[in-house]
Each structure stands twice: as C-alpha cells, then as structure tokens.
Amino acid sequence: MGKLSRRHKENIEKTKNKIYSNLDDAIQILKETATAKFVESVELHANLNIDPKYADQQLRTTITLPNGVGKESKIAVLTNDENFNEAKNAGAYKVGNDELIEEITQGNLDFDLLIATPNMMPKLAKLGRVLGPKGLMPSPKSGTVSNTLESTITEFKKGKFEYKADKTGVVHVSFGKSDFTNTQLVENLDALYNSIEKNRPSGVKGKYFKSLFICTTMGSSIKLDLNAFV
C-alpha cells in the first residue's frame, strides 16, 4: 500500500470521526479539503436500504440541479434520417442511425448520453452488454427515449442527468465542482437528496437511507447526519 501524501493526511485529520448535521458546515469543510491542483468534482455517496435485484427496489431517475454540475454533456442521438437536422440544431454532439449503431458495436462511446427515438430501440437491444455497464442504454423512465428530440436535448443540455443506485444499493453522483459557491453546492445537495427521497422505491421497508457521505474527487469522505436535511 502506497504512502499517503501530506495533503491527504491533513484532509483526513479534518474529517475523521466527525458527523455533520449542518450542510453549510459540511460544504465548508468539503471546500477546504479540495486541495488538488485541478478543479475537483463534488460527489454524494448515499447507501440505501434497497436490493436492486428486485424490480420494486430499483432507483433510476433524472434530475436537473438548480446550479448544474459544471459540465456540459456530449449527447449522441439515434434516430431516422429525417430527424437529423432537428437533433443537430438542438445541440446534439453526434447524430446517426445504422452507422452510429456500428460505431457503438465497435466500442466507440465518445459521448456522455445517448438519446433514441422509440422506433430505434429494437436495434439497440443487441447492444445492452455494451451500453448497460456504462449506464448509456436509453430508457423511457430516464427520459432518454423520446419523439420530441428538440425539447429533450435542450433539457439535458441545461444540466438534466440520470442517476441510479448500483447493484449494492449505493448512489454515487456528482453534484457540482469545488469552485462552486457554498450556497450553490448546498442548494444542489439539498435538491439531490430530495430527489432520492421523492423517488423512494415502493418495495422499501422501514429505514431508507443507511448512510450519506460527500467528498471531492481527491478529498476525504465527510459523513452527514441523516437528519441534516430534515
């Protein structure tokens, strides 16, 4: 195991054995531990009392945070030729049909989000093993299967994104950058928490949240009191 850097040791000292019940204080410490030589992403890690192997305990939804996440997504669109101009004019990074499917088949996934019109979904069925693990498979629930391409692309360009719980029931999601203001990060974090709460799977029994942590890309974990959002 490699040695911890002095920077990382100092960050650990600031956060170990502490639980924050005040979001403003937690975000302040978060920014103080963002000491890397680049603008770090800020992440929430929520451990939920769910077992995603059951259909009624799965969490997958979309959200548009009040202050965005500090990154513009590269959007690929799979649709018919007659819709190409609409998608391009709306700001799509890449538009195609059969040739785009061939690119994906070959492992060329140089985009962050894939939107498809419903008539194209049967063609994507065979690519589940390629797109699924990357979280790129379009789905009606996430809003990435749509006939209204212009409005759909515009929403995602404005910062709408999808998140879901992994197979262990943990949500890992970025809610901004370390150079955001404290207020912007608190607002985004609060909106993200409320979204997870609002989309509580119907199969959840009893306590929903097990634990909540926030951190920066290179920073230490900061534990939040589960009552911090009440």
pLDDT tens-digit readout, 19-30: 999 999 999 999
Last residue of a domain, one of 158, 180, 206: 158
For residue 14, is it left (φ>0), alpha (ψ between -120 and 50) or beta?
A: alpha
Q: Do residue 132 and residue 81 come from a single domain? A: yes
Q: Do residue 105 and residue 124 come from a single domain? A: yes
Q: Do residue 81 and residue 140 come from a single domain? A: yes
Per-residue pLDDT tens digits for 43-93: 999 999 999 999 999 998 989 999 988 888 899 999 999 999 999 999 999
Number of domains in the chain: 2
Q: Which domain holds residue 44?
A: 17-68+162-224
Spatial distance between the Cα atoms of 148 and 158, rounded to a whole number of angstroms = 16
Q: Do residue 59 and residue 99 come from a single domain? A: no
Is residue 229 included in any domain, yes or no?
A: no
Section 194-208 average pLDDT = 95
Is residue 30 included in any domain, yes or no?
A: yes
pTM over cut 0.85 = no
Q: Do residue 180 and residue 144 come from a single domain? A: no
Read off the pLDDT band of 1 (50, 70, 90): very low
Q: Do residue 26 and residue 38 come from a single domain? A: yes
